[in-house]
Amino acid sequence: FGKKIGGDILCNKKTYLLIHALQLAKGETAFTLQALMNGSSATPEEKIDGVRAVYDQLGVRQIALDAMEMYYQKALEHLAKVSVPDTRKSILLRLARDLMNRKD
């Protein structure tokens, strides 16, 4: 959709990644994350890089990818139970596959 990378970080949006990072961060990592989110003197680029580094350190990207895969599989299971011909489900299946395979 043309969103700027890091825009959610700059706006302090409570994303899945941020919520999990806040839950997992301890000690110095928690302090760093809070400082970045609470308007430290970091430039926008430094804030984005710093928060992403914390995400990487905590492994929250993989947590998000694992959750995406779990919900994708659940959706496919539920869609398989819908009593309509598979041809009528094809658009939803393609949409789900496309969403799972989209690039940042």
Low-confidence stretches of the chain (pLDDT < 50) are 1
Mean pLDDT over all residues of the chain? 91
Q: Residue 42's pLDDT is what?
A: 84
Question: Would you say the C-alpha torsion 101, 56, 26, 6 has a positive or negative sign?
Answer: negative
Q: Residue 104's pLDDT is what?
A: 56
- pTM summary value: 0.79
* 42/26 Cα distance (integer angstroms): 21
Q: Residue 85's pLDDT is what?
A: 92
